[in-house]
Amino acid sequence: MTWKTLLAAGAALGAILAAPALAADLVLVGVDAKFADVKGAAGDPRPAPNDSLVLLDAARSPPRVVRTVTGLDHSLMGPPQSVALSPDGKLAVASSPTSWDFATGREKTETYITLADLRQAEPRLAKVELGANPNAVMFTTDGRRLLVTCTDGTLKVLAVENGSARLLQSLKLGRRLTGLAVTRDGRRALAGVGGEGLALLDLTGDEVRVQPDRLPTGPSSYDMEVSDNGRWLAVTSLAGTPGADGKPRSDIGMVSVVDLAASPRKVTHQVQTPATPEGVAISKDGRWVVVLAAAGSNLPATNPAHSPTGRIALYENRAGQLTAVNDLPAGAAGQGVVFAADGRTVLAEFNLDNAVAVFRVEGGRLVDTGQRVALSASPVAIARQPSR
């Protein structure tokens, strides 16, 4: 890439960030290039493309690639919340880093996050060591703190200033942490704690405080999101409700809806989903919930439960009660899913198709627009720019 191209890319992004009239709707996609589907089984492409961060403008139809950042390690490990975009859109973060040793055929997990300062024509990358393998990552609504869940059960709290971050707190919440959500008023956060439900976090003081109670949202809480109106939380569970033997079923998943305005906060409804619901998104007003599930497409072709496609399902939230509306075929091994700012457009990551697919809620049903944003490798995480 020439210096002229770099300057043009930086100027284009700067114009989008600075000009409200353009009404950009920024969505960040994390791309893992270390694996590929080879005859129904995971393989290691040689040579592999670069892991990357891809910035999309979802206000365009179809969504347009604004920028691509390479030179970092990323992976599909953990929930599809391992990327984050700051409220001002100037700082991107990638967690869940892994590296692949082709000589030994093993993947190595790392213990840092990568910050990408998007204000420069060529983004400045910086690693921040955490001492634990990071999963989900999310900015607080004011952009001054960064929360990171880790596989050792700790929540890392970092201060963010002028494109850099430093560790403030390390809070032990349980055995293994998964997904993460921050309420739109910036006062609370919720973190998935293995099979222990959700931990509640108070963000109102200078230090993050852990609340004593937990929200029971299923046997394995995973991905989650809060509606923009702050009322509802949607959260997936990779294991469904217990079967006749009392053990959670792996052939189905579950999605729960939580009323955050209730006192005390409570789970109001849980419904079954297709197997392995990797991603969940809730519309701005909390009315619509979308679940992207692997539904057997993540299994080897020799497995009896294998499916060539995943499923994407729409549910309607009626005062805390979820009603299944419809579901459609989705790409194999689907990962993250988000609503665009219009509250009707849905972006879904089709992992093995190397694409982001565009759906819409039209006439009360989910519709596949047929639009696809092609990527260089597999999308594994997605985050929209927080509401300001």
Contacts for 8 with CB less than 8 Å, ≥ 6 apart: none
- Average of per-residue pLDDT across 183-193: 94
Between these two residues, 296 and 315, which has the higher pLDDT value? Answer: 315
Q: How far apart, in Å, are the Cα atoms of 118 and each of 49, 97, 121, 242?
A: 21, 19, 7, 46
What is the domain-level CATH number for residue 211?
A: 2.130.10.10
Percentage of the chain modeled with pLDDT above 70: 87
pLDDT at residue 41, rounded to an integer = 54
- Average of per-residue pLDDT across 261-286: 94
> Quick count: other Cβ atoms within 10 Å of Cβ 281?
23
pLDDT at residue 196, rounded to an integer = 86
pLDDT tops 50 at residue 108: yes
pLDDT tops 70 at residue 349: yes
pLDDT tops 70 at residue 244: no
- The number of domains in the chain is 1
- Average of per-residue pLDDT across 327-354: 96
Q: Quick one: pLDDT band at residue 5, thresholds 50, 70, 90?
A: very low
pLDDT at residue 42, rounded to an integer = 57
- Closest Cα partner for 254 from 264, 240, 244, 269? 240
Task: Indicate yes or no: pTM above 0.85.
Answer: yes
pLDDT at residue 238, rounded to an integer = 85
- Average of per-residue pLDDT across 50-75: 95
pLDDT at residue 46, rounded to an integer = 65
Q: Quick one: pLDDT band at residue 177, thresholds 50, 70, 90?
A: very high
Candidate from 103-107, 119-123, 132-136, 355-359 with smallest mean pLDDT: 103-107
Token code pair at residue 368: 């596949």
pLDDT at residue 219, rounded to an integer = 77
Between these two residues, 1 and 90, which has the higher pLDDT value? Answer: 90
Candidate from 14-28, 83-97, 137-151, 277-291 with smallest mean pLDDT: 14-28
- Average of per-residue pLDDT across 303-322: 94
Between these two residues, 156 and 229, which has the higher pLDDT value? Answer: 156
- Average of per-residue pLDDT across 362-376: 97
Q: How far apart, in Å, are the Cα atoms of 164 and each of 86, 148, 303?
A: 12, 15, 46
pLDDT tops 80 at residue 87: yes
Burial class (CB in 10 A: 0-12, 13-18, 19+), 241: middle
Q: How far apart, in Å, are the Cα atoms of 123 and each of 27, 68, 93, 357?
A: 17, 10, 12, 27
pLDDT at residue 20, rounded to an integer = 41
**Residue range(s) defining the domain that contains residue 279:** 3-384
- SS3 of 304, please? coil
pLDDT at residue 172, rounded to an integer = 97
Question: What mean pLDDT, rounded, does the chain reach?
Answer: 89
- Closest Cα partner for 273 from 292, 294, 303, 252? 252
Q: Hunting for tokens 């859109």 — which residue is that? A: 89
